[in-house]
Amino acid sequence: MQPAALPFHPSPKTPDIALPAGACDAHCHVFGPAARFPFAPQRTYTPVDAPKETLFALHGKLGIDRSVLVQASCHGTDNSAMLDMIAAGEGRYRGIAMVKADVTPAELAALHEGGVRGVRFNFVAHLGEDADIDAVRTIVSKIAPLGWHAVVHFDAVKLETLAPVLKEIPLTMVIDHMGRVDASKGLDQPAFAMLLDLMADERFWVKVCGAERISRAGPPFHDAVPFARTLVERFPDRVLWGTDWPHPNIKVHMPDDGALVDLLALIAPGPGHLHKLLVDNPTRLYWPETIV
């Protein structure tokens, strides 16, 4: 039997810092409600319902104007809940879908029309079997003409064997959650060095979110800050940030999303870094048509 999922924070704080106009949460999810959008039978976890109305309210409280919804494995390749929220967002939301290798051009065109701009591939043990590399290559060949990118989510321990494969894929790739490195192992750990090596290739971007996932010290997750700050300082034009709401598969220390926003004062303190992280970079990747 699957363990009960932790509920998301019931009343996150209002952040101490004010976010710039156009700020984007580039990694969050919408789950269900299951009565309308059932979860996939083959899922490895069952989250609590996290509907669009709750996420809209959270973004309003945090000062977030735009967002990128990421399809999670609990909904499989049924992207309906995500597409429903994108439609309700009136152009302020984009999506990252999950698709099968046999996805058709017509299905991809419909996803694009619905606001999708990329696909996600999982290489994380607790989410089931890793994405099949042959299927990844097939999907990449189908989405490339649309100008989409790939989002890759992996366990840090898999990076040594996965990195050479990722380098061969002719597509822009966004790495989730700082590569899920272990913050307790320090900046000199091999996994972080391999992540920095990937980022030396300008096709790669990285999300400096998931502080609660890589932290080993617990709230306020300050042990994760040096990793995020290093990435922001070294690669200011290819970093993104997100809340990761409603934080699926968190077992302890469910974060307060307002407190996660406050970490940005430590992650991106340099001149212009916060604006690039929250506004300029997501605009280039997800709303390029708005750039004058």
Q: In the structure encoding, which two tokens stand for residue 112, read together?
A: 């694009």
244 is catalytic: yes
Question: In the structure, how many helices (H) and strands (E) does the chain have?
Answer: 12, 8
Catalytic residue among 25, 155, 244, 256: 244
Q: Where are the beta strands (DSSP E) in the chain?
A: 24-28, 66-70, 93-97, 116-123, 149-154, 173-175, 204-207, 239-240
Would you state the structure tokens that stand for residue 78, as one six-digit string?
């049924």
| 8 A C-beta contact, residue 71 and residue 82 | yes
Output phi, psi for 149, to 5 deg.
-125, 175
Q: Measure Cα distances from 124 to 75, 106, 142, 176, 183 in Å.
A: 16, 30, 24, 11, 17
User: Which residues belong to the active site?
Assistant: 244
